Structure 1
């Protein structure tokens, strides 16, 4: 790592601890490219000094890739205590500027390999309905934050709330079936948006496969027990106080989250 990269990792960690947002305009020349951004993310993860509970995959639709001027997904490592079993309660002040995404959350039953086919991943994981709350250490980040700053900031990682987990090959009859779930997102009883799993690279298992391959190229892996939030079904609204619920078909069930005022 360069000294500049080390400094950025420390500034992100300080913002993570203090909840004082950084100004993205101050960092427009800090990163030489994506590799540098992932080095900063790795150092930020080390500074958190907590076990890695899994990963989140971002920019898994044509819409979000266009918004962030990208042509492929990106990932962020997530510490273990940022994965919460539903129903969950979160204080609004515990986050900075979060959004709400609806996702499938996979959990590895054994170490995943870059050679795994989609069918292998279908057999080697559990799946659960999920709400991801992306958040950033940069002010006014959505949807204008530079892609490499997104990467450096753990892919704007916040919290992941997951529902009931079941073997993926028991919940879905085939690999292709994983692309077919739909969901509805509600806030305080008001329907906000519908979404479909096919928005996630055509099939959320493809997002998981991309992540496993990307990590392998960096000498890393998804290991047994780690979870992966695989990509949003919907364009995310901002998180506000109140009761949030995502209802999924395919007998996936729902995910409930209450956000309380400070």
Structure 2
């Protein structure tokens, strides 16, 4: 992958950053030809991350189910770098005004206990990480983005990164006796005590550890790495609803616990 950004890519990254700061949404149609391919989109994302001038706290992996890949005409996942202060420990409160047009996803959030290698097996990753229940709040700098935003614009926009709320973190190899057990996690999502959706971890590339493995390999191919302390929101169990004010809760089985999030209208 070429790492040198073109003038057009640099300008696009600045426009995304301005939208990120001002919350004035961009119009999709104005940018459909701005990024030539996925490599260009990742160059824009890298420039956008630099403009944020904050530590990278981790990554989110998107398009991890057959359903979402079809929606965005993709054959593989994609990732977005997330700054550290966008990872929030539950329980927490978020203002709708912090975001633009956010969704709600149910995820497992892994944290690297040491630098991860593309040579790591799924079993290695089970030993080298912690795991926590999570709610991810995807968001975009484009108006009317879901589910119509072109894939390369999703990539450029930090994989429509918003916020990641995570629950109690435990050693993955203590929480799960095997790699296969990770795929069997089930979750229920509620809003103001109204049941909305149920999901299962196998929706995430068959196993969320496969999502983590994909990310480590993708980063390595771009000369990057996942280092100790960085977190990964590994992919949604459910097709996401839009975020609204109220009390959101995701309850996970297998003693993973719950994640609670209050959203205010301001």
Please, what TM-score do these two structures have when normalized by structure 2?
0.98
Mapping of 1:149-228 within 5 angstroms? Answer: 149-228=153-232
Query: What is the match of residue 11 of structure 2?
Result: 7
- Cα deviation, 1:53-88, whole Å, max 9, x if unaligned, reads 000000000000000000000000000000000001
3-state SS of 2:259 partner:
strand
Tell me how far 1:261 sits from its aligned partner. Answer: 1.1
Tell me how far 1:252 sits from its aligned partner. Answer: 0.2
Please, what TM-score do these two structures have when normalized by structure 1?
1.00
Find 1:71's aligned residue among 72, 75, 88. Answer: 75
Number of residues paired by the alignment? 262
Q: Please, which runs of 5 or more residues in structure 2 have no aligned partner? A: none
Mapping of 1:74-153 within 5 angstroms? Answer: 74-153=78-157
- Distance of 2:198 and 2:65 partners within structure 1: 15
- Distance of 1:22 and 1:196 partners within structure 2: 34
- Distance of 2:24 and 2:254 partners within structure 1: 41
Tell me how far 1:201 sits from its aligned partner. Answer: 0.2
* Over 2 Å off, 4+ runs: none
Q: Does 1:51 align with 2:51?
A: no
- Distance of 1:211 and 1:45 partners within structure 2: 17
Q: Does 1:234 align with 2:219?
A: no
Q: CA RMSD in A?
A: 0.3
Find 2:35's aligned residue among 28, 31, 45. Answer: 31
- Cα deviation, 1:129-171, whole Å, max 9, x if unaligned, reads 0000000000000000000000000000000000000000000
